[in-house]
Amino acid sequence: MSETFDVDNVKCGGCAAAIRDGLAEVAGVESVEVDVATGRVEVAGSGLDRGELATRLAGLGYPERD
């Protein structure tokens, strides 16, 4: 299972690392890929809760684009 998010405020590798580290703490997350150029975040794992992931991203400072 995977979830894809287009988020704001991703500007550098440090942002990508913060996203990877922050989402790694969420239950079921197995991998996180971040494309700095587009702001796309792809999360793979089992039993993922899209709402929980979106809330965590927003809390990290990377809200999902409307």
Structural domains for the chain: 2-60 (3.30.70.100)
Residue 33 C-alpha from the chain's centroid: 8
Mean pLDDT of 3-24: 98
- Quick: pLDDT tens for 37-54: 999 999 999 999 999 999
pLDDT at 61 exceeding the cut of 90: yes
Output DSSP code: residue 61.
Answer: T
Report if pTM > 0.75: yes
Whether 6 and 39 have beta carbons less than 8 Å apart is answered as: yes
Predicted confidence at residue 66, as pLDDT, reads 81
d(CA 62, CA 21): 13
